Amino acid sequence: MPKRRAGHVVLIGEPNVGKSTLMNSIVAAPISIVTHKAQTTRFPVRGLAIRGLTQIIFVDTPGLFAARNKFDRSMLSAAWRSLHDANIVLIMAQAQNKPNEALTNILKRWHRDSPSAATVALVINKIDLVRRENLLPIISQLTEQFDFDKVFLISASKGDGIDDLAEYLAVKLPVQDWIYPADQMAVSSLQTMATEITREKLLLRMHQEIPYQTAVQHEAWQTQKDDSVRIDQTLLVVSQSHKRMIIGPQGQNIRQIGEAARKDIEKLTDRRVHLFLQVKVKPKWADDLSQAAEPISSNPETREQ
């Protein structure tokens, strides 16, 4: 008789290679925020998927890049630490005509520091952007240098190759009872997911460096008598000029960020949401390691402080 399986699948790679898109595709829910901007994910995010008798616990990690401050270093340290609990590691790379130095460095560090028990597969994403024949020499070069259990060619945004990858994970994870309830899709708290939704809308609304110098912080979550929920969140920025830009003329930017976030949080919680934002200047928030553990949010019912 077939037995249940469960385990952790950790996604690592450079920024903006599609880790969050892949996890959301297999989980079939927007667990990890996705934007066109690099370094969107700031801390490991866990999503759950069921394939047959297997519960797959995905861990989406921040893209690996050169750290600039304490926040970055803490974020990257959390990404590497998550590998030690992995049953399977998916090293993701973007399809390109030749391996870049950043990917090679990630692979070298993995080869040097990897837990011996983890199975490692290479996932080449965005294959629709490169001619298939141009990928073969790159794959050959990487597989000669590093030992992968399997190599997958996928397009996470279009769904190509996703089923094959999911089936591979389902049979590779260890035989054991499921770790979480069958109807649970994420390990993160609703508060954390709500703050990430707001940060996603901030990233999509604002441009250049401003979003990367902003954090979204949960303040309060109160259920009202009509079963709606009031959520208070704070946007932390590094300067008064950034604060003015995020608020926008007559509060236009912050209202639109909050309105978009409120709608998605209502879908997440299946209840009416009253989302309140305040914007605070905190020049050195990136040196506050407490911000690295869990993120931070905003709404049409906005107030400035």
pLDDT in tens for each of the 305 residues of the chain? 778 999 999 888 887 788 888 888 888 765 654 444 444 444 556 788 899 999 998 887 765 544 455 555 555 565 566 667 789 989 888 887 666 777 777 777 777 766 557 888 999 998 888 887 788 888 888 888 888 999 999 998 898 999 999 999 999 999 999 988 887 776 667 788 888 889 888 888 886 556 567 888 889 999 999 999 999 999 998 889 889 989 999 999 999 999 999 998 998 788 899 999 999 998 877 666 444 444 333 333 333 33
- Please check whether the domain covering 190-293 is classified as CATH 3.30.300.20: yes
Q: Considering only CA atoms, give the Rg of the chain.
A: 20
Instruction: Strands of 243-282 (E only): list them.
Output: 273-281
**Domain 5-172: which CATH class?**
alpha beta
H or E element at residue 194 = helix 190-205
pTM of the shown model: 0.64
What are the backbone dihedrals phi and psi of residue 239, each rounded to the nearest 5 degrees, phi first?
-155, 160
Residue 224, token pair as written in the block: 């009202």
CATH 3.40.50.300 residue spans of the chain = 5-172
d(CA 153, CA 141): 15
CATH 3.30.300.20 segments of the chain: 190-293
Rounded Cα gap, residues 72 and 75, in angstroms: 5
What amino acid occupies position 89?
V
Q: How far is Cα 220 from Cα 88, in angstroms, rounded to an integer?
A: 36
Question: How many Å apart are CA 231 and CA 223, to the nearest integer?
Answer: 9
